[in-house]
Amino acid sequence: MKKLAVIFGVISMLLFIKPVLGLTTSNTNVTTTEVAALNTNTNTSSDDDNFITEAVDGIKQFYAYTGFANAQSGHIIMIIIGIVFIYLGIKFDYEPLLLIPIGTGVIIGNIPFVMGNQTGIYETGSVLNYLYFGVVKGIYPPLIFLGIGAMTDFSSLIANPKLMLLGAAAQIGVFGTFLGALYLGFNLPEAGAIGIIGGADGPTAIFLSSKLANGINILPDGTTVKNLIGPIAIAAYSYMALVPVIQPPIMKLLTTKKERLIKMKPPRAVSQKEKMIFPVAALLLTTFISPSALPLLGMLFFGNLLKESGRTERLAETARTKLIDIVTILLGVTVGASTQADIFITKDSMLIFGLGAISFVIATMGGLLFAKLMNVFLKGDEKINPLIGASGVSAVPDSARVVHAEGLKADPTNYLLMHAMAPNVAGVIGSAIAAGILLSFLA
Amino acid sequence: MSIPLSISNIDEGYVILLTGLLIVFSGLLTLTVFFKYGLPFILKFYNGLKPGPKNTNKEITCKVPGNEFTGEVAAAISMGIHLYLDEQHDNENAVLTIKQARKMYSPWSSKIYGAYNNRF
């Protein structure tokens, strides 16, 4: 209260001495206070009027620039959403590394301001706009993938390569959502960008939407595509954070108690040589099939080679700690800030959120059902626990953790984490390939 | 693209759906096949190239006469392992790596400033 009084006092003081300092329209040459006093004495009434109107004008002008004057209901809604994101991140520990930067970004992006002062993220030349450049041009996602590659241990996948197919099965979520978006009236590139939400992979979603639905590309019929990067990224990241909520009911619905009890035999030990060959061989095979996914897959396997080569520990260390942290900070805040209310709150965004939820459901179902299908052909201890199919939706490593937790619920001695990591990382590869395919078809 | 314009978005969507899924599956299937069959073969081949008396590790089978695994057998095996591991410390890795601790120069911790500036 005291501080408020002091601030108010200072502001009123400043306004009061403004005419004294010769800022009034009349008597511009007057400098001394003496003459100013004389001046005020001679024509008091008119100057008083002047002073008051000017003070009021100044306050009015100041007020016109504040957030209070420019706030619209959209801004308030988005700020509340930002606060909810931060709350979810802190309280429930849902991907706090993503939700807290994004939540803060949402607040930053929705502070109401007057256009034309290079403040907003969509105004050319503003600082936020420069940082957002990395999103729009798809620079950040490959860098994130480099870090992910340097973090990921592919050994469970090398030990049991058939689990790779589960990662492919979950990509039905991508193509199912793509079709859904087409039915809802989105055009092809937009639908492709929306579909990739089903890949459950934030960087891939941003990469693809920055190429397909960036508000710059022109369609064959002459219209420009909509800018959907913000809604798609927010949908992808928020549903990734909600994986622990979305997946368990579907897992329970589609698997029987008996299936959930299946114990898989522990994966064999993988030699360092195999681990070194994996990134090189996988890079060659996947990028020859889907060259458009090169930025993502190239960086992913490059990062992994840095980790496994045993000679570049320093580079791997940087890629998986400092580099990915820096990029995550920039990506989170700018993606959050790109949700400026007037651009974000549209019918399309709502549709995208709906489709996103469906895509996660389809992807999870695809993985689970394909795991059950594989079980038909597998015998004895080769049988897989169908729960791990659910981790074929990337969302590394959350969905693998969810599978592990569900497995423990069914049987407290059944540890599925290592097995679930295999389809999980295969899902990353799969969704990157899917992104490449969509890109080559639609760009 | 050679798809005629008369095909609607939805039809093209189905085309992309099917081809896309097919490519994703074939891509990961290729990886699966490679790592299931190709890689072991390559490693075997590579090991075969290397000079040396024996490069292939034969799988150790634990065949117990009469097909019963008694406590005595287990005790014998564990005694063997224990004795083996007991000898391990005699064959230590001779390569030592010492991480060099670098002391960066900084005027804040410089001895020179502290030593000379106080002289009268």
Q: B25 in a domain, yes or no? A: yes
Q: B55 in a domain, yes or no? A: yes
Q: Which helix H or strand E contains A230, and what residues bound it?
A: helix A229-241
Residue B7 in contact with partner chain A when CB distance is under 8 A: no
In the 8-state DSSP scheme, what is residue A154? -
- Domains of chain A, by residue range, sit at 2-70, 131-442
pLDDT given at position A351: 92
Low-confidence ranges of chain B (pLDDT < 70): 1-7, 50-67, 89-94, 107, 109-120
Which segments of A170-293 does DSSP mark as H helices, in order? 172-183, 188-195, 202-212, 229-241, 243-254, 257-260, 272-289
Contact status, residue A238 vs residue A103, Cβ threshold 8 Å: no
pLDDT in tens, chain A (443 residues): 677 777 777 777 666 665 555 554 444 444 444 544 545 555 555 667 788 898 999 999 889 888 888 888 989 999 999 999 999 889 988 888 888 999 999 999 999 988 888 888 888 889 999 999 999 899 999 999 999 999 999 998 999 899 999 999 999 999 999 999 999 989 899 999 999 999 888 899 999 999 998 888 888 887 888 889 889 998 998 888 889 899 999 999 999 988 898 888 888 888 888 899 999 999 999 999 989 999 999 999 999 999 999 899 999 999 999 999 999 999 999 999 998 888 888 899 999 999 999 999 999 999 999 999 999 998 888 889 999 999 999 888 888 999 999 999 998 988 899 899 999 999 999 999 999 999 998 87
Interface test with chain B among A182, A286, A393, by most B beta carbons within 10 Å: A182
Which token pair is A352? 């995208």
Q: B65 in a domain, yes or no? A: no
Residue A278 in contact with partner chain B when CB distance is under 8 A: yes
pLDDT given at position B3: 46
pLDDT given at position B52: 58
The identity of residue B119, as a single letter, is R
Q: B91 in a domain, yes or no? A: no
Q: Which residue of B has its CA nearest to A177?
A: B17
pLDDT given at position B65: 60
Q: B111 in a domain, yes or no? A: no
Q: Which helix H or strand E contains A239, and what residues bound it?
A: helix A229-241
Q: Count the residues in chain B.
A: 120
* Partner-chain contact A433 B31, CB within 8 Å: no
* Partner-chain contact A434 B24, CB within 8 Å: yes
Coil vs helix vs strand at A308: helix
Residue A179 in contact with partner chain B when CB distance is under 8 A: yes
Closest CB from A176, A183, A434 relative to B10? A183
Domain count, chain B: 1
Query: Chain A partners of B34 at a C-beta cutoff of 8 Å?
Result: 161, 281, 285
pLDDT given at position B118: 61
ipTM: 0.76
Tell me the torsion sign for CA atoms B108, B112, B117, B119. Answer: positive
pLDDT given at position A265: 86
pLDDT given at position B108: 73
Q: B120 in a domain, yes or no? A: no
Q: B21 in a domain, yes or no? A: yes
Interface test with chain B among A175, A276, A278, A438, by most B beta carbons within 10 Å: A175
Interface test with chain A among B2, B12, B16, B42, by most A beta carbons within 10 Å: B16
Domain extent, residue B15, equals 1-59
Q: Which residues contact B31 (CB under 8 A, 6 or more apart)?
A: A161, A164, A282, A285, A286, A429
Contact status, residue A392 vs residue A167, Cβ threshold 8 Å: yes
* Nearest-angstrom CA–CA distance, A216 and A113: 25
pLDDT given at position B66: 63
Contact status, residue A416 vs residue A388, Cβ threshold 8 Å: yes
* Partner-chain contact B20 A183, CB within 8 Å: no
Q: Which residue of A has its CA nearest to B46?
A: A273
Query: Chain A partners of B14 at a C-beta cutoff of 8 Å?
Result: 179
Question: Residue A423 phi/psi, 5° resolution?
Answer: -60, -30
Q: B33 in a domain, yes or no? A: yes
